[in-house]
Structure 1
Amino acid sequence: MTTAAAEAPRKAELYRMVMPDHICPFGLKARWLLKRKGYAVDDHWLTSRAETDAFKAAHDVATTPQIFIDGQRIGGHDDLRRFFGLKVADPQAKSYTPVLVVFAVAGLLALVTNWLTALPLLGIMTAERFIAIAMMLLAMLKLQDVDRFATMFLNYDLLARRLVPYGYVYPFLELGAGTLMLARALDWLSIPLALFIGGIGAVSVFKAVYLEKRELKCACVGGSSNVPLGFVSLTENVMMVAMALWMLAAH
């Protein structure tokens, strides 16, 4: 065997949708992955719906893209990742990542705000701003789809179960309390507001998770999340209560 033949890359065939109004993102991801793994890609474009349907019927597959290596059909993008021994994301898997990202961004914004206002990066003010910003970010996520949030909220919130509209109002209350706390304005309003929604939330989560042992999704980052209801959601509510009590003591 010659050196050139030995070093020749393995070949893969990729069939993906490339149309004027749609370029399949998974086809692009599959092509990138194949090239990263050292494959020479024979990239076949399916340029119309009719051509795509004919390809799927001919190969008895339901979706595109489709990848073939050494004449063997591997499947779609997820199948290709499995072929290479890579992890495939499970859309139904529970994850704390959304909440952790919110807390990380809130912490970064608190540090930047302190730097812009010439305050020490770490201190009591950092903690205050972190909590207020986190409340605002969490409220923003809930406000993306208030109806979906309110529906999930009904699974465990004690007040929402008695007064359904409370679930629709909650994100606005959280946003308002966080905004006022960050600005340190109208403390007479923000403190009782945070105590009210945070206190009810904490009791509701504690009852559902730790007393009733129920496994539920948390509505804390909106109704489309797979964040488990539990410690993280309890932390959100405890932070609101702690912030309110701290500000009350400061007065």
Structure 2
Amino acid sequence: MTHTYQLTGMTCSSCEDKVKKALKLVENITNVEVSKENNTATITMDKHVALSDLQNALESKYQISTINHNETIEQTRSWLETYKPILLIFFYISLVTGLIQSKNHHFDLMEAMRHFMAGFFLVFSFFKMLNLKGFAESYMMYDVLAKKIPAWGYVYAFIELGLGIAYLLNFNPLITNSATFIVMNISIIGVLQSVLNKKKIQCACLGAVFNLPMSTVTIIEDGLMIMMSLIMLLTFL
């Protein structure tokens, strides 16, 4: 995509070069054309870059602003494009779960959560298995246990597969939900650290197949599994 911005503060050709070089260093920007006469910068990017990121890349005397596009709309569109794989996965798992429940005489929350978690772990483990080595290498970049024990990344993918099968077969719910609660709590620690420290690293939730950034979306998906397993554990008390 290409956007043209108003860019003020340039007074000479040296300013043009300085601004052009600074903007080209911003992630996902592929080309920059700057005009001192028109006070504009035409920027081509692989995916939308926030206006604040562009401004942060420039010296304070240069001010950049939008001209022909709505920044809020572009950011929303970019977010949807980035997280489209996860959103589709959650939609399909939710759809299948709902269709199963539609055959019951009444909505069974425990059964619905069990089927949802089965789908979640089976699908997510599938993507990890497509490139197990790539997943393990990405996972050890932020997971607290995988950093210390690199083999944990390989083991984790099979644990997810095992949990998916266990939920599908309704195997010993106490053990299955306890394992989920423990494993996901360990997993979410590294995610929280990365997001809070604003580290721009790839999330390994879908293995190495999709280039998804670590964000609050990752926290939500891990937190959802923790919450569901806890709810089902509490039914045994």
TM-score tier, shorter chain, comes to 0.5 to 0.7
* Deviations 1:148-195 (CA, angstroms, capped at 9, x unpaired): 111111110000000111100111111211221233212243122211
Give 1:161's aligned residue. 147
Mapped partners of 2:168, 2:235: distance in 1: 15
The TM-score normalised by the length of structure 1 is 0.58
Structure 1 partner of 2:98 = 111
Task: Among all aligned residue pairs of Structure 1 and Structure 2, give the percentage whose two residues are the same amino acid.
Answer: 26
Gaps of 5+ in 2: 1-43, 49-77
Q: Which residue of 1 aligns with 2:204?
A: 219
TM score, norm. by length of structure 2: 0.61
Q: Deviations over 1:46-88 (max 9, x none)?
A: xxxxxxxxxxxxxxxxxxxxxxxxxxxxxxxxxxxxxxxxxx9
User: What 5-or-longer segments of structure 1 have no aligned partner?
Assistant: 1-87
> In structure 1, what is the equivalent of residue 66 of structure 2?
none
Q: Equivalent of 1:198, from 172, 184, 192? A: 184
- Number of corresponding residues: 162
Distance in 1 between residues matched to 2:218 and 2:105, nearest whole Å:
30
Match of 2:58 in 1: none
Note if contact 2:139-2:153 (Cα within 8 Å) is conserved in structure 1.
yes
Bigger-Rg structure (1/2): 1
Q: 1:127 to 1:216 in 2, by over 3 A?
A: same
CA distance in 2, matches of 1:89, 1:114: 44
In the alignment, which of 217, 230, 235 is matched to residue 220 of structure 2? Answer: 235
The Cα of 1:245 is off from its aligned counterpart by 0.9
Is the Cα–Cα contact under 8 Å of residues 218 and 226 in structure 1 kept in the other structure? yes
Instruction: Give the corresponding residue for 2:38.
Output: none
| Compared CA separation, residues 226 and 188, structure 1 to 2 (3 A) | same
Q: Could you tell me which residue of structure 2 aligns to residue 52 of structure 1? A: none
Moved over 3 A (4+): 88-94, 119-125
